[in-house]
Amino acid sequence: MNLVKKVENFFSYLGSLGIFIKDVFYFLFTRKRDFKTVSKEIVSIGIDSLFLVSLISFFVGVIVAFQTAYQLKKFSSEIYIASLVALSLTRELGPVLSSLIVASRSGASITAGIGSMKISEQIDALEAFAVNPIDYLVVPKFIGLVFSLPILVTYANCLGIFGGYTVGALKFSIPFHFYFKMTFDALQYKDIVS
């Protein structure tokens, strides 16, 4: 395959991706949504991911607390564990890990479902009945993702901070009120919103 063909295929793919995104946003704002369908997608994408997000976020908080504690112990500054855990989780790790879990878990599920529908010609049947597959299949999942992901990120941040607290309390005897005072003193509004 020569270079011209590769470049042509790349731009063809970009064009079809742009048309797909345009269609998603077109149907997102031009049609009424059935609350039952959207709530089913919110449950599928968000609530079903809670266990994995809980497990991973808690242990990431524990690991970050342990790693920073051993470095801070050299300077007798273990009290700053709370600040470092809170900042690293809310700025970077919480959003990235939550998005990764949702993308891998829900992405695989959605891909398998749509692939199965394509093989069994259900998508062709939707088109035969004048139902747009993007409107019927993609947009409810997109809305479910948009509603679920910020909640999952906030939940992951809280559990990660609690994981850091368990290390601070059990290993370094940091009191509850002092740990969370340090946490909230370190966090700013932009850390939580962004």
43-65 pLDDT, tens digit each: 999 999 999 999 999 999 999 99
Q: What residues have CB less than 8 Å from 126, skipping those under 6 apart?
A: 132, 133, 136, 137
pLDDT at 159: 94
* pLDDT classification of 151: cutoffs 50, 70, 90: very high
Domain residue extents for the chain:
1-30, 34-193
Based on its alpha-carbon atoms, the radius of gyration of the chain, rounded to whole angstroms, reads 22
Residue 77 has pLDDT above 80, yes or no: no
pLDDT at 74: 78
| b/e per residue 123-144 (b: at least 16 CB within 10 A) | beebeeeeeebbbebbbbbbbb
- 175-185 pLDDT per residue, tens: 888 888 988 88
Residue 1 has pLDDT above 90, yes or no: no
Residue 78 has pLDDT above 80, yes or no: no
Q: Average per-residue pLDDT in the chain?
A: 89
Residue 101 has pLDDT above 70, yes or no: yes
pLDDT at 70: 82
Residue 194 has pLDDT above 80, yes or no: no
Q: What's the rounded Cα separation, in Å, for the pair 138 and 69?
A: 45
Residue 16 has pLDDT above 90, yes or no: yes
pLDDT at 173: 84
Tell me how far CA of residue 83 lies from CA of 68, 87, 182, in angstroms: 10, 6, 6
* pLDDT classification of 13: cutoffs 50, 70, 90: very high
